[in-house]
Amino acid sequence: MRRKSNAALCVAHGRVARFGVQETIVETDGEGWLTTSGPLGPNPMVNTAFDLLDVATTVYAIERQLPPRSASNPNIHWDLTMPVREPDLWNGKPRELLQDILGFLGNTEWNIRFVQGSRKHIVLPAPGDQARPIRRIALLSGGLDSASGLGSNFTAAYETQLCSYYTKQKTLQRTLAETLEFGPPTQWRHKGRAGRGRSFYYRSFFFLSLAAAVAHTWQASEILQFENGILAGSIPPVPSVSMTKHAHPKLHDLFAQLLKSVFMSDWIVTNPLWTMTKRQAVDALIRNVGKERANEITPITESCWNLAAPHAFGVSKLGRFEKKVNLQCGVCIPCIIRRSALPGEEYAFDLRVDKVRNHPQLGAFFLEYLELVSAIRSSVNTAEFRRALPAEGLDLIDGDWTTLSALEQLWRTFSDEFHETFL
């Protein structure tokens, strides 16, 4: 596979060499490569920011283009040849940090070679109002956590610019921003070639990069990403479940280091919901805006993996239950966590019913979480809790991302919420 001068080439190596490599080319100069609408700051976007956007969009596109391998032969090494405007800037420490970020997100090894590319600039809106005192960028996903965080007084609307990526959520994101009394979000979209890829390990790097590029046009250096602590910690209910690390504190730390290395200034990337369950985040929203307004906000947010599909894990109907398009499935991991916060919402399948929870596809994630929370609720002290904790939880403690006592408080709270919701 031959690479054009302004295209990126990725070669992915599986665990079993005899099955060959996967290759894909990402055309970075096509029309509509990356588009945006909404406010930008008064400062023009610099080459460094354009390069960051190109790198992040390329990685996002690679994951979308490459078809999935078998579970026994995942890609374990990636070679990426990436054209940028300033290759000398990206070599050295930035390259090392970028490889660390991608390796951490995908549990793989990345080798990136930067080459000179006479890259075109992304078409951007005109610079914004210089008088607007933007100090931070907050990611707006359209999900319950970002809405709860933005509505819970963690950040002041007048000095915060929202940034989002959308496929079909453009109107939803704008509605949420207006309902939460924030200004119009800066919304991005990628129109590059799609593919058969179905994993989502690297898209959080893409989202954070969009926020960083927007932040730099205001000379801001703080990014907020809202995610409840149960999912942000990337702790699976059982070892066989592979969790993304989309809001992991290590990712935030590495990304802040990367921004410092390329923009030559200190950055902060934080998650204000890190120590909270999803129910606690919703409760914080209710306390700040009142129950009536919260009841307007929470139902329009989206969490479900299978929201746009007429089935959940291949199942459309089970007895009186039926999955329809735009109805939350109730059985994926985000739905299980969401229901522990909003038990009264409508879901396609009800995990409080034995027929659903014992179904081999529909009940799999529920039974795995039940196993973990039952072990936690059965533990009578901190030592027993630590033994019940999956390895990923121990990694959080060993890496100084949290303490054992904080993690115990978080997971005991969630375990009680889970038990109250489903049992």
Non-local (6+) Cβ contacts of 216 within 8 A are 41, 43, 45, 46, 48, 49, 263
Dump pLDDT digits (tens) for 198-248: 778 999 999 999 999 999 999 999 999 999 999 999 999 999 898 999 999
Round the average pLDDT of the chain to a whole number and report it.
93
pTM of the predicted structure, to 2 decimals: 0.95
Confidence of residue 60 (pLDDT cuts 50, 70, 90): very high
Tell whether the model's pLDDT for residue 130 goes beyond 60: no
Take residue 332 and report the two structure tokens written for it.
């994926």
Under a CB-based contact definition with an 8 Å cutoff, are residues 57 and 35 in contact?
no
Residue-level pLDDT at 70: 87
What CATH number does the domain located at 136-270 have?
3.40.50.620
Residue-level pLDDT at 34: 87
Confidence of residue 87 (pLDDT cuts 50, 70, 90): very high
What distance in Å separates the CA atoms of residue 61 and residue 212, rounded to the nearest whole number? 19
Tell whether the model's pLDDT for residue 129 goes beyond 70: no
What distance in Å separates the CA atoms of residue 168 and residue 50, rounded to the nearest whole number? 25
Per-residue pLDDT, averaged over 356-384, amounts to 98
Residue-level pLDDT at 128: 63
Strands 136-139 and 222-224: parallel
Confidence of residue 412 (pLDDT cuts 50, 70, 90): very high
- Every domain of the chain and the residues it spans: 7-116, 136-270, 304-422
Confidence of residue 148 (pLDDT cuts 50, 70, 90): very high
Tell whether the model's pLDDT for residue 303 goes beyond 60: yes
Dump pLDDT digits (tens) for 194-206: 777 677 899 999 9
Residue-level pLDDT at 133: 85
Residue-level pLDDT at 28: 80
Nearest to 22 by CA among 82, 67, 73: 67
Amino acid at 2: R
Q: Give the DSSP H or E segment for 356.
A: helix 354-357
Contacts for 366-374: CB closer than 8 Å, 24+ residues apart: 366/331, 366/336, 366/422, 368/236, 368/237, 368/238, 368/241, 369/237, 369/336, 369/418, 370/418, 370/422, 371/237, 371/238, 372/237, 372/238, 372/415, 373/414, 373/415, 373/418, 373/419
Dump pLDDT digits (tens) for 164-175: 999 889 999 999
Tell whether the model's pLDDT for residue 379 goes beyond 90: yes
More confident residue, 193 or 411: 411
Residue-level pLDDT at 7: 87
Per-residue pLDDT, averaged over 139-167, amounts to 95
State how far Cα 412 lies from the chain centre. 24
